[in-house]
Structure 1
Amino acid sequence: MERIIRKQLLYRTGVEYGDYALNHVLGCAHGCRYPCYAFLMNKRFRNITYEDWTKPKIVENAVELLEKELPKLKGKARYINMCFATDPFMYKQLDVVQLSCDVIALINSYGIPVRTLTKGVYTLNAAKVSNHPENSFGITLVSLSEAFRQKYEPNAAPIDERIKGLFAMHMCGFRTWVSIEPYPTPDIIEQDIEELLESISFVNRIVFGRWNYGKLSYPKPDQFYREIASKVLEFGEKKGIEVVIKKEIENVR
């Protein structure tokens, strides 16, 4: 796997449910075919093609940078997000997974928790190196359909493997969460949101967001997302799960 060098790794994120974040890999092998914010931004500002994006490059000096930057955040950062522009547990990318485990261990050694998000599978090593009681491990899950996954998330982990990996982290005693974003409209796939929610009823937190960055042909999408968001909120209340509805849905209520 190719390596790159960066001058800085940690940054303050503007994401509504974020704090500090890092991206220790450039690109993502999952090759998602629905509009991906990270790819679109890199395509716009770095002229990265889809082919380049799906050949991830590791930040070779990631640990070295963190050793310099983390002391400045001790006592300031509530947590560090991994990641908003790549995937820390990229499916079948062992170099990425090993670096992510090293990064988690280093961040935790400064008393700072991490919040991770993946379309890959959590490994036993991820549980072993995790050394902060407030670490939170998440997956992106927008459909239970393997046909949908194969079309829109071609190189990401199969749905069952993704959920089983998250459940394993839950059984290890870690906080877990799910990002249901970008949730597709019925013209893309007909599905039951309640079935999806039941499959991850063990989690502590759910973030729900709409299909973005592409023109929707589905009639009255705002109404559709309001209705689905209401079901997610109702499910969270019933199960005692924290629910975050993204602002682009909240703002059209």
Structure 2
Amino acid sequence: MIRLDTTPVKTLLSKSKIAGFDYAINPYVGCPHKCIYCYAEYMRKFSGHSEEWGEFLDVKQCDVPLKPSKLFRTRVMLSSVTDPYNPYEKEYGLTRNIIKQLVYCQAKVYILTKSALVVRDIDLFKQLYQCEVALSFSSADEGFRQAAEPGASPVADKINALKTLHGAGISTAVMVAPLFPGITDWKQIIALTKPYVNRYGFDSLNMRPAFHRKVMDFVEGHYPEALPLMGDIYIKQDSSYWTKLAKEITDYCHEQNVRADIFFGSFPSYSGE
């Protein structure tokens, strides 16, 4: 069972380390999705928890409201090292309260999540000065989701969430990330979501030492046919795969008139009209 705690903080705002954003807001410390590839696992060493990443969640408590004078027309990301719509958000409503404040601040808000719970706040998204909601997919296969991202929403629920958001006039995006070499069928993800998506982003699986063995064991156990390719990329350090894939995605999205941003490889991204 996940360990739940509350933690007082002086501010919810952090200067964003992600290009294109001024601030990041992470309402929680930790994430119960238990994705085997989670890059945010490094946050565990700052949390003071002995539990494994995915086994604890701290709910931030902050008495200082967000300031319109500081956030007016700034670009704010929810979230960079947690999921703002993890299942416990139903109980705590911390993310919803933050978005209410961002409405007042007239901030430009970008939301990244793996949860269909995001549709709960459509009423607030409509009030934001500017808003984009992105759903993250590493695969359109539910079996992959269950094995690699057990706490995230089912694939069908995320697609339905995109449909609902799009139908409500909210700008939507899909982050095809992380791309698993030889496993992620990114064309299938586009085919299933294209009617409801304004743009796509693509990012590679960046193998960090903390979860390298866990990911390779997962691939060996569930997708052994992809193991040789994964070995070439992550053991032999052959980066040519990503260069070729970036060009393939660029060409395909151009043909399909799909707006896409690629965050790996040496090829520039393509943005369709």
What is aligned with 2:221?
none
What is aligned with 2:24?
21
| Cα distance change on mapping 1:91 and 1:230 into 2, 3 Å | farther
1:138-159 per-position Cα deviation (integer Å, ceiling 9, x unaligned) = 1110101112111110111111
User: How does the TM-score come out when normalised to structure 1?
Assistant: 0.84
| Runs of at least 5 residues in structure 2 that lack an aligned partner in the other structure | 217-229, 269-273
Contact 1:122 1:166 in 2 (8 A): no
Secondary structure of the equivalent of 1:51? coil
Structure 1 residue 46: Cα displacement: 4.0
**Are 2:60 and 1:59 equivalent residues in the alignment?**
yes
CA distance in 2, matches of 1:43, 1:181: 22
What is aligned with 1:198?
191
- Match for 1:181 among 174, 177, 181? 177
1:127-182 per-position Cα deviation (integer Å, ceiling 9, x unaligned) = 01221252100111010111211111011111110111122111100100111111
CA distance in 1, matches of 2:118, 2:27: 18
| Cα distance change on mapping 1:169 and 1:49 into 2, 3 Å | farther
Q: Which has the larger radius of gyration?
A: 2
CA distance in 2, matches of 1:245, 1:114: 21
CA distance in 2, matches of 1:249, 1:6: 38
| Cα distance change on mapping 1:92 and 1:123 into 2, 3 Å | same
Structure 1 residue 229: Cα displacement: 2.2
Which residue identity does 1:57 align to in structure 2?
Answer: D
- Match for 1:119 among 111, 114, 122? 114
Secondary structure of the equivalent of 2:80? coil
User: How does the TM-score come out when normalised to structure 2?
Assistant: 0.78
Q: Which has the higher contact order (CA 8 A, sep 6+)?
A: 1
Which residue identity does 2:39 align to in structure 1?
Answer: Y
Contact 1:193 1:228 in 2 (8 A): no
CA distance in 1, matches of 2:48, 2:88: 26
What is aligned with 2:220?
none
Q: CA RMSD in A?
A: 2.5
CA distance in 2, matches of 1:119, 1:49: 25
Identity, % of aligned positions: 22
1:15-73 per-position Cα deviation (integer Å, ceiling 9, x unaligned) = 13433111111111101112x22112x13444545536432121122xx3333x44322
CA distance in 2, matches of 1:241, 1:49: 44
- Match for 2:136 among 136, 140, 145? 140
Q: How many residues align?
A: 240
| Cα distance change on mapping 1:19 and 1:167 into 2, 3 Å | farther
CA distance in 1, matches of 2:162, 2:68: 27
Q: Which moved more, 1:170-179 or 1:102-111?
A: 102-111
- Match for 2:207 among 184, 207, 213? 213
CA distance in 1, matches of 2:80, 2:21: 9
CA distance in 1, matches of 2:256, 2:170: 18
| Runs of at least 5 residues in structure 1 that lack an aligned partner in the other structure | none
Contact 2:30 2:44 in 1 (8 A): no
